[in-house]
Structure 1
C-alpha cells in the first residue's frame, strides 16, 4: 500500500466532493436571495447530479484509453470554478450552466482518482474505504463552509469557496512524494506489473461483462433506498412522530455519519474476512434496518434504525468499487464511472416515485414499498461471486488459474 499517495488522493476526494455538497447547500440561499421557486431549484439540482452522473461514464472511457491523471486536479478545480461562478452569476440560465459545469468537473474527477486509489491501495479493501470516506467528509463539511461564506458575507464572497481547490492544485503541481509511484508521477494501470511491464497473466485478464451487469443491477437497487431514505427520513421524524426540525436533523446526521463508519468498517471486514463478507453482511443487515425505519413508533428507535441502516448500506461500498474494477480489469475507469455514476443516477431517477407515494399514502407506505424493492438487490448481492486478480505493483501476482472468474 502506498500510504502517502493514498492519503493525498483521499484529500483530493474530500476537496472534490466538498463542491458536490456545496451545490445543495447553496440552494436555500438562492431561493431566499434570488427568489427561485421549487421548480427552478429542482432544475439546478438536476444540473449538478444528473449531468455529473451522465458524464462520469464518458470520463471513465477516456481514462481507460490513456492514463489521464491530470483529470484529478482539473476536475476538482473545474467543480470549484462552477460553484464560484454560480454564486457570482446574475441570471438563472447562467447559474444553471455554471452548476452543470461544476457537475462535469465532479464527474471528470472520480474515474481516474478511483483507479489511482485502487492502484495505491493494492488488494486492501480498507484502502478503498479510506478513499471513499474522504468524499463523505468533504460532503459533510460543505454545508458549514457554504453557510460560513455565503451566509456571512453573501454571494459576493463566493470566490472564497475556491480556496480548497487552489490549495489542492498547488500541492499537485509540487509533485511531492505523495504523488510518486516507484519514482514516477503516474500510477501504473491495473493491468501492469511492478516495473510498468505487462503482468505475466495480463492476456488472461478478460472483462466479465455478465458479472459486471449483475453488480450494476445491485448498485442501482442500492441507490434507490439510499437516495429515498436520505430525502424522507427527517420528514418521517417530524410528520409521523411529531418531532422538531432539529430532531429531524439529528436523524439525518446519524444516518450520514453512520455511513462513514460503515465504509471504514466494511474495509476492515473485507481485508479480514473477504470482501464478499462485507457485501453480504451489509445487505442482509440493511434489510431489517429499513423495516425498522418504516415501523418505528418511537423517535429513539428511529434514530437507532436509521444509523444501523446507514452503516449497513455503506459496509459493501468499497468492496463494490473494487469488485467492479476486477470484473472489468481492462476498463477500471469505465467500471468506476458506471457503478459510481450512471447506476447512481438511475437510482436517483426512481426516488421521486416514492415521494409521490408518500404524498398520496403517507411516508410509512413509501418506506414499506422500499423494503419490497430492496429485496431484489439484496438477493442479487448474496449471489455475487468474487473475482481474485493479481494486485498491481506486486512481484508475485496470484496465479490466474486460482481466480474465480465470477461467471458462475
Structure 2
C-alpha cells in the first residue's frame, strides 16, 4: 500500500517511515498489553474482533486526504492485529494440545498471508487508486466470518469436556529467567530476519547482476521456503525437543548467510536463499510454544512478547544495517548479520525444555 500512497500523495520518506512505525511498532508494543489482559480474563471474541478492526483501519487508510487521518487509520489496523495475536495463539495452543506442530500451522498461515498481501493490494489500488482501500477490508471481514464458527466450536468443545482437573502446567511457576533468555534469542533472530528481508533481493541485484524481477523472485523463494521451515521446525520440536530444534535452526542459519555472501553466481545464490529461508524460519513457531511453556500462567503475555514486541526490535535495527551498507557495501552488512543467529545459539545454552501439557 505504501508505494501507492507515496505516488498519490507525494509523501516524503519521513512520512512513509511514520506510517510504517504506526503499523508495526505500535502494534508490537500493544500486543503484550493485550496478552496481559487476556491472561487475567480470556477474551476469545478478540480473535474475530481483531481482524475486523484491522480491516477497518486498512479500509479507512485511503479515504481521508489528511496525513494524520491516514496515520490514525493505519495505527487502528495495527491495534487490531495486536488484539488478535495473543488470544489466537492461546486458542491455537488449546486446539493443538500444546504441540509445536500445531503452532507451526498457525504461524505458516500468517507467513503466507503476509507474503500474498501484495498480490491483492497491487491490482486493487493499481486499478482503482488509493481511495479504493475499503475493498481491502473485505478479506478481513471474511476472515472474521470464518473465525466465528471456529470460536463456537471451541466453546462447544470446552462444554463437552466439562469440569476437569487443572493441567500440570498450573502447578509450575512462571520461569521468567528462562523466558528472558528466550526473548533475547528471539530478538537476535528477528534482527537476522529483518536484515535478510531488506537485503536478499538487493544483494542479488547489485552484487550478482540480477534483474529486479529476479530479485523479487528470490525474496519470494526465501519466504516460501521459510513456510516449509516453520512446519519442519514444529515437527522436529515435538519429536526431539524445542530447545534442540532452536539450536539446529540457529546453527544452520549462520553458515547459510555466509554462503550467500560467498555465492559465486545467481544459481548458487538461489539455492542458498532457499536453504537460508528454511533454516531461519525453523525456530519461528517453536519460540512461541516454548515461551508459552515458560509462562504457563501468562500464555497471552508470552505470545504477545514472542510474536510482537521481541520481533519488532529486529525491524528497528534494520535501518542501522542500511546505514552500514551505505557506508561500506551489502557484503559487509550481510557478513555482520552472521553473528546474530550465533548469539541466539549461545543464548539457548541457558534454556531448558519443558514438557508441553
Both proteins in one fold, TM over 0.5 = yes
Cross-structure match for 2:242: 275
**2:2 maps to 1:27:** yes
CA distance in 1, matches of 2:166, 2:76: 38
**2:108 maps to 1:141:** no
Unmatched runs of 5 consecutive residues or more in structure 1: 1-25, 186-193, 392-408
Describe the SS at the equivalent of 1:229: helix
TM-score relative to the length of structure 1: 0.83
Show CA shifts across 1:186-230 (max 9, x none). xxxxxxxx6444516455221000000000010000000100110
Describe the SS at the equivalent of 1:243: coil
Cross-structure match for 1:6: none
CA distance in 2, matches of 1:352, 1:175: 40
**2:60 maps to 1:90:** no
Which of the pair is proportionally richer in helix? 2
More divergent stretch after superposition (110-119 vs 273-282): 273-282
Cross-structure match for 1:111: 86
More divergent stretch after superposition (50-59 vs 36-45): 36-45
Query: Are the counterparts in 2 of residues 354 and 366 from structure 1 also a CA contact under 8 Å?
Result: yes
CA distance in 1, matches of 2:280, 2:303: 18
Show CA shifts across 1:367-403 (max 9, x none). 11111333211222355210114x2xxxxxxxxxxxx
Aligned to 1:101, which of 73, 76, 98?
76
Cross-structure match for 2:99: 124
Query: Are the counterparts in 1 of residues 184 and 344 from structure 2 also a CA contact under 8 Å?
Result: yes
CA RMSD, Structure 1 to Structure 2 (Å):
1.8
More divergent stretch after superposition (324-333 vs 373-382): 373-382
Cross-structure match for 1:171: 146
CA distance in 2, matches of 1:76, 1:162: 9
Show CA shifts across 1:308-358 (max 9, x none). 111111111121111000000000000011111111122221221111010
Cross-structure match for 2:326: 359
Task: Return the offset for 1:181.
Answer: 4.5
Q: How does 1:6-405 map to 2 (within 5 A)?
A: 26-174=1-149, 178-182=153-157, 184=159, 195-199=162-166, 201=168, 204-389=171-356, 391=357
Cross-structure match for 1:14: none
CA distance in 1, matches of 2:80, 2:236: 33
Query: Are the counterparts in 2 of residues 48 and 103 from structure 1 also a CA contact under 8 Å?
Result: yes
> For residues 270 and 240 of structure 1, do their structure 2 counterparts lie closer, same or farther at Cα, with a shift above 3 Å needed?
same
TM-score relative to the length of structure 2: 0.95
Describe the SS at the equivalent of 1:285: helix
Task: Return the offset for 1:274.
Answer: 2.6
> For residues 373 and 175 of structure 1, do their structure 2 counterparts lie closer, same or farther at Cα, with a shift above 3 Å needed?
closer
Unmatched runs of 5 consecutive residues or more in structure 2: none
More divergent stretch after superposition (269-278 vs 254-263): 269-278
Query: Are the counterparts in 2 of residues 83 and 98 from structure 1 also a CA contact under 8 Å?
Result: yes
Query: Are the counterparts in 2 of residues 172 and 179 from structure 1 also a CA contact under 8 Å?
Result: no
More divergent stretch after superposition (173-182 vs 84-93): 173-182
More divergent stretch after superposition (176-185 vs 150-159): 176-185
Query: Are the counterparts in 1 of residues 170 and 296 from structure 2 also a CA contact under 8 Å?
Result: no
CA distance in 2, matches of 1:172, 1:325: 23
Describe the SS at the equivalent of 1:49: helix
Describe the SS at the equivalent of 1:141: helix
Which is bigger in relative contact order (C-alpha 8 A, separation at least 6)?
2
Describe the SS at the equivalent of 2:291: helix
